[in-house]
Structure formats: C-alpha cells, structure tokens
C-alpha cells in the first residue's frame, strides 16, 4: 500500500460553500488542533494521565462528517475522539476537565480521554476496545428503526478496526436489518505501528462493503469540504433509505499513535509529505485564494480559539475532585431514576 498523500476525492467538494460556512469549519478544526496541542502539553506536565490519542492531522474528518448530522442523530466514536466531541459541540471545558479527571468533566472523571460522553448531544462515547463501538452503533440504529425515528447513527472507527470480526458482523447485520448507520472509517494508514498493507490483504477499504450489498465511497480526508459533501450525500441516503453506508476518509495522523509511541515505524519524510496536505492549511489556502480570509480575520480566529482553549484549561483546573466516598455510586443506576 503506497502512502502517497495525493488522492482523487471519490466525491467532489461541496460546490460553493459560503465563505462564512468555510470559516466555521476552519474555526472547528482550529479548535480541535489547538485544544489537542494544549492537551499534549498538559500531558507532558502530568496534568493529564493515562492514554492520550491525538487527532491532529485528521480534523477534517470529524469536522466534515458531523456537519451532516442533526441534533437528533447519534455518534459513536473511538478512544481517539476529542475531535468528534468538539465538532459535536461538547464543551471544551467539560472535555478538558474530563482529561483532568475532575467532577466537572463530561464523564465526571470516570472515563478520561478515551471515554468522553455527552448524552444531551447524543454523543454515545469513546470506545477503547477496537471494533467495540460498531455493534453499539448498530443497536442505536435498531432502536431508531423500531421506534420509527428517522435518525442516523454515525459510527467512527479506524482502518485497524476493519480487521476485527465485529466490522464484518456489524456491516452484515446493519444491511440485513436495513438499519440507518453511517459507518465512517478513518483510514489514517496505520493501526498503531502496523501499516494498512500489513494488516489488510486487500487495502481498498471502500470495497469491503461490497459483499454485504452496502454502498460505499472514499473521500480525501484532508479536504474538509470534500468530507462534508460526501458525508451529506451519505447521511442523506442512509436517512432516506434506512440502509447503512460505508464512507472511507483517507487521512493521516501527524502525531504518534499515543503519548507512549516512539513512532519508529514510519519515516519523517512520509509524515512531512502528509503535512503538506494539512487540512487546516488546505482550507486556509482556499479561503485566502478567495480573498475571504484577510490576515486580521485569521488572527482574530486564532485569538478566539486560544481564548476558548485557555478557558477550557481554566475550567479544568478549577474543577473539584470526585469524592472517593462516592466511588461505588455509579456502578449501578440509582433506583430513583
């Protein structure tokens, strides 16, 4: 499998997305980028612990896909889910506080970086067993089918998850039962240190949908407008036909797999080549060429995002610790409820 960074987007970019909309997308991607840069810093400072998987380089995927969702739609993600959470509107402060393990975290400090939840936004969380989220997404869609709700459940997972049996079982079940699941494979070409070509006998992921009679498409995951339009088409058909769809977004992670990863399995050159297609740079370039992003506008955007990240950190720092006495409270649902 070549890791050449140029793709022909299988789905053409959204025609004439307004400058305002493109700036919204840039704001979201910038927020994810700065939020995670800060998180990495805080991890080194020992404020954040456990596993931390950064999404840097892949921001266009979550940002573009989630454009296609309504508040009624549901999201199931992985342990690499800060981007999905932020793009869905989970407050940055609640996410940062969660990574601090504080009571004001979005999972009350129980979950940490890998297990962000926000039920009010139908953000059904980060799943840290690879492939483990797919059946849950199928079930959420089954509930919608049984209740005749025209909702879409989006399920994010990586290329590595495609090797798990649950990928196969979930595509078959979703297709067999005509369930509205949008499966989004974030193909960043590596499962930890294992390159796509060393874990898939046939590396074209979009083709994996064929034997189930599931439609699929591939999209340039570095081009947020391409991702958005592919996701809109996909979500539209999933909602209309109550059938699953597999969308492969070809992307790349600029950082190591996790903070523990020495990143010895790929070359600097490969990483640098991909950074030329940094989704933020691509979108910024497009806006600038349209004359839609004057320097001061961009600077303002940067300031705005920095302020939000700083506020998120402040919120996390100010958060209380959950009392040890209440430790056993959340094992079972209180009868009250």
**Helix, coil or strand: residue 130:** coil
Closest contact distance (angstroms) between CB of 258 and Mg ion is 12
The one among 13, 101, 105, 158 contacting Mg ion by CB under 5 A: 158
Cα 58 from Cα 186, distance rounded (Å): 8
Task: Find which of a copy of itself, ligand TPP, another protein, none residue 207 binds, CB within 5 to 8 Å per kind.
Answer: a copy of itself
Hey, which residues between 85 and 104 contact another protein (CB under 8 A)? 101-102
Contact call for residue 149 and a copy of itself (CB under 8 A): no
| Number of residues in the chain | 337
Cα 250 from Cα 189, distance rounded (Å): 8
Contact call for residue 245 and a copy of itself (CB under 8 A): no
Contact call for residue 37 and another protein (CB under 8 A): no
Cα 3 from Cα 265, distance rounded (Å): 13
| CA-wise closest residue to 107 among 261, 335, 322 | 322
Strands 190-191 vs 194-195: parallel, antiparallel or unpaired: antiparallel
Phi and psi at residue 186, to the nearest 5°: -85, 90
Closest contact distance (angstroms) between CB of 183 and ligand TPP is 13
Query: Do 290 and 21 meet the contact criterion of CB atoms below 8 Å apart?
Result: no
* Alpha-carbon 207 to chain mean position: 22
Measured from the CB atom, the residue of 253 and 284 that comes closer to ligand TPP is 253
Closest contact distance (angstroms) between CB of 50 and Mg ion is 20
Hey, which residues between 109 and 138 contact another protein (CB under 8 A)? 109-112, 114-115, 117-119, 124-125, 127-132, 134-138
Task: Find which of another protein, a copy of itself, Mg ion, none residue 102 binds, CB within 5 to 8 Å per kind.
Answer: another protein
DSSP annotation of 214 = -
Residues lying near ligand TPP in the complex (CB under 6 A) are found at 80, 128-130, 158-161, 186, 188, 190-192, 257
Phi and psi at residue 202, to the nearest 5°: -135, 110
Measured from the CB atom, the residue of 189 and 309 that comes closer to Mg ion is 189
* Alpha-carbon 287 to chain mean position: 23
Contact call for residue 168 and a copy of itself (CB under 8 A): yes
Residues that bind Mg ion (CB under 5 A): 158-159, 188, 190
Residues that bind a copy of itself (CB under 8 A): 163-169, 171-173, 175-176, 198-202, 204, 207-208, 210-214
């Amino acid at each position: 499998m070549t890791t050449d960074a140029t793709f022909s987007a299988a789905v053409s970019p959204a025609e004439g997305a307004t400058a305002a909309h493109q700036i919204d997308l840039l704001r979201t991607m910038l927020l994810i980028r700065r939020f995670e840069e800060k998180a990495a810093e805080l991890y080194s400072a020992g404020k954040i612990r456990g596993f931390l998987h950064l999404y840097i380089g892949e921001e266009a995927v979550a940002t573009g896909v989630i454009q296609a969702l309504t508040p009624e739609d549901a999201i199931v993600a992985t342990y690499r889910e800060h981007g999905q959470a932020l793009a869905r509107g989970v407050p940055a402060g609640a996410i940062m506080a969660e990574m601090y393990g504080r009571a004001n975290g979005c999972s009350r400090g129980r979950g940490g970086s890998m297990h962000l939840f926000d039920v009010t936004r139908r953000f059904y969380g980060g799943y840290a067993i690879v492939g483990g989220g797919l059946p849950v997404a199928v079930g959420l869609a089954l509930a919608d089918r049984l209740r005749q709700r025209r909702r879409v459940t989006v399920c994010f997972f990586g290329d590595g998850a495609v090797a798990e049996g649950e990928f196969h079982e979930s595509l078959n079940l979703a297709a067999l039962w005509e369930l509205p699941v949008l499966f989004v494979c974030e193909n960043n070409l590596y499962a930890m240190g294992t390159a796509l070509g060393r874990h898939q006998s046939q590396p074209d992921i979009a083709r994996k949908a064929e034997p189930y009679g599931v439609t699929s498409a591939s999209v340039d995951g570095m081009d947020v407008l391409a991702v958005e339009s592919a996701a809109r088409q996909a979500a539209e058909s999933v909602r209309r036909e109550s059938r699953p769809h597999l969308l492969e977004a070809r992307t790349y992670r600029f950082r190591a797999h996790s903070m523990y990863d020495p990143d010895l399995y790929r070359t600097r050159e490969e990483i640098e080549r991909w950074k030329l297609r940094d989704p933020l740079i691509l979108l910024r370039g497009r806006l600038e060429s349209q004359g839609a992003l004057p320097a001061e506008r961009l600077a303002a955007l940067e300031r705005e995002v920095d302020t939000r990240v700083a506020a998120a950190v402040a919120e996390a720092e100010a958060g209380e610790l959950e009392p040890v006495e209440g430790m056993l409270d959340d094992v079972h649902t209180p009868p009250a409820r």
